[in-house]
């Protein structure tokens, strides 16, 4: 069994942005997958603490976490609006279409576009993935190479939005090797390859 | 409960919408079913079987066609989520039981659509006379439900594996074989008008499908998360 990393520990508080860096294959994406509950670590634990001090049950993590990662895709047979409607429904959100449309406009997508996501450029699909992650106003956001496929205006928007999220008291975790994204965080964690 | 159901319906509706746009599973099911039916009706036809053997042998043939058509298309529900990398976000967004119920509903729609097309066609082409038509529909519905429950949980298990195609048939077969035997008995009973045998078979199908539903509901969260 290959050990990806050992002895990783730390905590992030509301309003804090953590940047995870490291060479290709060092385990940045694996660490993010563990942090958001998609992978179980062979040893150790991940905990999310509620404001009342209790640990958040694992079943409820999804409600409080938003994730944008290259290994996670939205449904390419559906339109952008249909994707957001679907994620809102399965998350039990009471959002109306107006909310979805506003969110799509916020990330720079046309809500009236009837093309399925299959016809989107990688940058547009990335914007939709970001909209999906913001849909339920999560307390903790994970961005894995989030600006990688965005054009300069998209990168500017994402940087502004990440800073806004931090100001709102949300925790942001960025896994990146992009020099610009590295400046968005208040703390850096380097993984050795 | 109503929120849980609404979320499960959202998963099923999403899958159906995506399926109607690509028609991968529908085409697999329909093509397999029609090709097999054409081969069976051409080689055997309505008159090659002895009258006393007809109810049993035609029941066997009908369920073999349904069974293998289902194996050809029903594994897509979970495999597609894994192959198109949409599964991780679904894991984060929806409760496991919601996903399971949604996928089961989707598979039910597909299997019932397949049966609605196949059963009348089979009866006409093969000259399969049914003494108790409404009870025949009940046997088909109960058998179809059992088939959908079993293929849904097996599809969830094999979606995590690399050799998916072979595994689906290998794992499904031992689970589906007892069901197949009972639905064939039930179908033979409704064809001959044997009410006692029909009741016994239907009870067995419902019991088996019910047991598989409970087992799947408990097993699925473990399979889906780990």
Q: Is the pLDDT of residue B50 over 80?
A: yes
Taking alpha carbons only, the member of B91, B98, B214 closest to residue B149 is B214
Say if CB A170 and CB A141 are below 8 A apart: yes
Residues of B in contact with A119 (CB under 8 A): none
For residue A91, the model assigns a pLDDT of: 92
- What is the average pLDDT across B50-77? 88
Q: Two tokens at B9?
A: 């319906």
| Nearest alpha-carbon partner for B11 in A88, A135, A90 | A90
Q: Which residue has the tokens 């307390």?
A: A139
- State how far residue B93 is from chain A, nearest Cα, in angstroms: 6
pLDDT of residue A112: 92
Chain B hits for A69, Cβ within 8 Å = 88
A120's enclosing H/E stretch is none
> Which of B13, B14, B24 best tests the A interface by mutation, with the highest count of A CBs <10 A?
B14
Q: Which parts of chain A sit beneath pLDDT 70?
A: 1, 193
Q: Min CA distance, B91 vs chain A (Å)?
A: 8
pLDDT of residue A188: 86
pLDDT digits (tens, 9 = 90+) for B168-201: 777 778 888 999 999 999 999 999 999 999 999 9
pLDDT at A68: 94
Res. B7: pLDDT tops 90: yes
For residue A172, the SS3 value is strand
* Distance of alpha carbon A84 from alpha carbon A134, whole angstroms: 10
User: Under a CB-based contact definition with an 8 Å cutoff, are residues A92 and B3 in contact?
Assistant: yes
B11 touching A (Cβ < 8 Å)? yes
Predicted local distance difference test score (pLDDT) of residue B164: 62
Report the pLDDT value the prediction gives residue A3, as an integer from 0 to 100: 75
Whole-angstrom distance, CA of residue B19 vs CA of residue A75 = 12
Helix (H) or strand (E) holding A164: helix A152-167
CA distance A88 to chain B (A): 9
Q: What is the pLDDT of residue B162?
A: 63
**DSSP string of A16-83?**
-EEEEE-STTSSHHHHHHHHTTSS--SS-----B-TTSPBPPGGGHHHHEEEE-TT----TTS-HHHH
CA A167 distance to own-chain centroid: 17
Residues of A in contact with B11 (CB under 8 A): 90
CA–CA min distance A72, chain B (Å) = 5
Per-residue pLDDT, averaged over B19-25, amounts to 88
H-run or E-run covering A132? helix A122-134
Q: Give the separation between CA B92 and CA A62, rounded to whole angstroms.
A: 5
Determine the pLDDT at residue A73. Answer: 94
pLDDT at A64: 92
Cβ neighbourhood burial of A16 (10 Å; 0-12, 13-18, 19+)? middle
Chain centroid to CA A79: 20
Structure confidence at residue B75 (pLDDT): 76
Q: Is the pLDDT of residue B226 over 90?
A: no
pLDDT exceeding 70 applies to what percent of chain A? 99
- What pLDDT does B134 receive? 96
Question: In chain A, which residues have their Cβ closer than 8 Å to the Cβ of B94?
Answer: 62, 90-91
Measured between alpha carbons, how far is B80 from A154 in angstroms, rounded to an integer?
A: 30
ipTM beyond 0.85?
yes
**Backbone phi and psi for residue A190, each to the nearest 5 degrees, phi listed first:** -105, 130
B91 near A CB under 8 A: yes
Q: How far apart are CA B33 and CA B117, in angstroms?
A: 9
Give the pLDDT confidence of B129-161 residue by residue, as tens digits.
Answer: 999 999 999 999 999 999 999 999 988 988 877
User: What pLDDT is stored for residue A102 in this prediction?
Assistant: 93
Using the beta-carbon criterion (under 8 Å), do A71 and B18 form an inter-chain contact? no
Confidence of residue B1 (pLDDT cuts 50, 70, 90): low
Q: Do B92 and A92 touch (CB under 8 A)?
A: no
Question: Under DSSP, is residue A171 helix (H, G, I), strand (E, B) or coil?
Answer: strand
CB B139 within 8 A of CB B197: no
Q: Which of A72, A77, A90 lies nearest to residue B98, judging by beta carbons?
A: A90
What does the H/E/C string look like for chain B?
Answer: CHHHHHHHHHHHHHHHHHHHHHCHHHHHHHHHHHHHHHHHHHHCCCCCCCCCCHHHHHHHHHHHHHHHHHHHHCCHHHHHHHHCCCHHHHHHHCCHHHHHHHHHHHHHHHHHHHHHHHHHHHHHHHCCCCCCHHHHHHHHHHHHHHHHHHHHHHHHHHCCCCCHHHHHHHHHHHHHHHHHHHHHHHHHHHHHCCHHHHHHHHHHHHHHHHHHHHHHHHHHHHHHHC
Residue in chain B lying closest to A90 (CA):
B7
């Amino acid at each position: 069994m290959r050990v990806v990393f050992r002895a990783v520990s730390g905590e992030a508080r509301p309003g804090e942005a953590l940047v995870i860096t490291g060479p290709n294959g060092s385990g940045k994406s694996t660490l993010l997958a563990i942090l958001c509950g998609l992978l179980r670590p062979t040893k150790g634990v991940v905990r999310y603490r509620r404001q009342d001090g209790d640990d958040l049950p694992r079943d409820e993590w999804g409600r409080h976490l938003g994730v944008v990662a290259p290994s996670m895709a939205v449904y390419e047979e559906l339109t952008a609006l249909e994707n957001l409607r679907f994620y809102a429904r399965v998350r039990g959100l009471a959002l109306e279409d107006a909310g979805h449309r506003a969110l799509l406009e916020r990330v720079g997508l046309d809500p009236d576009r009837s093309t399925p996501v299959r016809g989107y450029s990688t940058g547009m699909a990335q914007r939709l993935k970001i909209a999906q992650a913001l849909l339920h106003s999560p307390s903790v956001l994970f961005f894995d190479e989030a600006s990688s496929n965005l054009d300069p205006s998209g990168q500017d928007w994402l940087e502004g939005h990440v800073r806004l999220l931090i100001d709102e008291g949300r925790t942001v975790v960025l896994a990146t090797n992009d020099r610009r994204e590295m400046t968005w965080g208040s703390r850096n964690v380097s993984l050795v390859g | 409960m109503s929120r849980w159901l609404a979320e499960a319906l959202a998963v099923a509706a999403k899958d159906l919408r995506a399926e109607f746009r690509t028609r991968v599973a529908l085409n697999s099911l329909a093509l397999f079913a029609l090709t097999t039916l054409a081969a069976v009706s051409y080689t055997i036809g309505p008159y090659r079987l002895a009258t006393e053997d007809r109810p049993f042998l035609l029941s066997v043939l009908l369920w073999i066609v349904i069974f293998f058509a289902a194996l050809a298309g029903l594994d897509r529900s979970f495999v597609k989520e894994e192959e198109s990398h949409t599964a991780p976000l679904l894991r984060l967004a929806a409760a496991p039981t919601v996903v399971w119920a949604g996928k089961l509903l989707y598979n039910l729609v597909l299997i019932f659509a397949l049966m609605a097309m196949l059963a009348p066609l089979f009866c006409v082409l093969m000259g399969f006379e049914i003494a108790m038509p409404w009870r025949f529909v009940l046997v088909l519905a109960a058998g179809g439900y059992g088939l959908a429950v079993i293929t849904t949980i097996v599809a969830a298990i094999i979606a995590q594996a690399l050799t998916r195609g072979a595994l689906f048939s290998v794992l499904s077969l031992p689970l589906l074989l007892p069901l197949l035997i009972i639905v064939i008995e039930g179908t033979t009973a409704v064809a001959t008008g044997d009410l006692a045998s029909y009741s016994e078979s239907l009870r067995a199908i419902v019991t088996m499908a019910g047991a598989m539903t409970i087992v799947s509901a408990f097993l699925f969260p473990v399979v889906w998360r780990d």
